[in-house]
Amino acid sequence: MNTETSIVIEDLRIGFPTSEGGFENAVDGVTLAIGAGDRVGLVGESGSGKSLTALACLGLIPEPGRVTGGSISVSGIDISAMSTADLGRLRGREIGIILQEAAEALNPVYTVGFQVAEAVAVHRHLRNREAQRATLSLLSDAALEAPEKIARAYPHELSGGQAQRVMLALALAGRPRILIADEPTSALDLLTQAEVIELLDRLVDESGMGLLLISHDLVVVEGVVDRVAVMFEGRIVEEGSTEAVFSSPRHPYTRLLLASAPGRGSELSDEERNHVTG
């Protein structure tokens, strides 16, 4: 892999089999690029294809889904041509990911410390005390108070905010060049949402990682990313600088997202609203 990691998605289509024997595309012609140092937001409602696009970047499309068209390359290498070993190195070292529903993503039968230390051992080739020290450092970097206590805890003993911070520590265990954060504030109260986003913003800034921040809420990404892509029904319907998209949204769906956000009043005509909502 090149040291300057980049993800290039070109005309990506991801389909699931139909009862008629064909495939219906849930992601339909997505083109997007994220490089080290970039901050990109991918925004859209649940079911629009955001998470599938993110999982595809790591070769993790859930079965029976499959890529039906287009390509994804990481640092110039098509991931469909990668060996199992290369994909293993890709996940965590080149690209880290924070999954939705942090509490469910953690293994309930192992302590937090064991799970983070295991990721550190795999990605950094550290053992025992070195891995334990790195684990406590990661938990501290993720703004978890009393990291020693957190390391001894099981996932069910964590609050939602703590679980999300642990997922961030896990995603950073391999020192990735690009971080994908998939709905990192879902199921959190407003105060905790703001704290997690502020933490994510700071860590990305300090590390120089690229960031793909996925959310159903435009306001969540507004202060973090430089570029926004809006997904609707499997397609990117609008993309541009954060300032341009927020100040002059072109697509009715983007304007609907903004209009539904607290404190924003981007109005749609009845015709536009009916077009978006069907």
- Residue 186, pLDDT > 90, answer no
Between 263 and 223, the more confident residue is: 223
**Residue 205 near residue 174 (C-beta atoms within 8 A):** no
**237 part of a folded domain:** yes
Domain with 261 in it: 251-278
Looking at every residue in the chain, the average pLDDT score rounds to 90
- Residue 271, pLDDT > 70, answer no
One domain, residues 89 and 124: yes
One domain, residues 193 and 258: no
One domain, residues 14 and 150: yes
**239 part of a folded domain:** yes
pTM of the model: 0.90
Mean pLDDT throughout 209-223? 91
Q: Of 20, 34, 49, 26, which is closest to residue 182 (Cα–Cα)?
A: 49
With cut-offs at 50, 70 and 90, classify the pLDDT of residue 1. Answer: very low
Distances (CA, A) of 74 to 7, 59, 201, 208, 258: 5, 11, 23, 18, 32
One domain, residues 147 and 196: yes
Q: What is the pLDDT of residue 2?
A: 40
Domain count along the chain: 2
Q: Distance (Å, rounded) from C-alpha 260 to C-alpha 150?
A: 37
Q: Distance (Å, rounded) from C-alpha 213 to C-alpha 201?
A: 10
One domain, residues 201 and 217: yes
With cut-offs at 50, 70 and 90, classify the pLDDT of residue 269. Answer: low
Q: What is the pLDDT of residue 3?
A: 45
One domain, residues 189 and 271: no
Domain of 42: which CATH number? 3.40.50.300
One domain, residues 162 and 274: no
35-65: per-residue pLDDT in tens? 989 999 999 999 999 999 999 999 999 999 9
One domain, residues 232 and 110: yes
One domain, residues 161 and 276: no
Q: What is the pLDDT of residue 70?
A: 97
DSSP string, 149-215: HHHH--GGGS-HHHHHHHHHHHHHTT--SEEEEESTTTT--HHHHHHHHHHHHHHHHHHT-EEEEEE
One domain, residues 155 and 260: no
Q: What is the pLDDT of residue 260?
A: 83
b/e burial code for range 200-230 (CB count within 10 A of at least 16 → b): bbebbeebebbbbbbbbbbbbbbebbebbbb
One domain, residues 60 and 196: yes
One domain, residues 81 and 207: yes
How many CB atoms sit inside 10 A of residue 28's CB? Answer: 19
Q: Distance (Å, rounded) from C-alpha 109 to C-alpha 45?
A: 33
Q: Distance (Å, rounded) from C-alpha 161 to C-alpha 138?
A: 16
Token duo for residue 111 = 């302590």
**1 part of a folded domain:** no
With cut-offs at 50, 70 and 90, classify the pLDDT of residue 252. Answer: very high
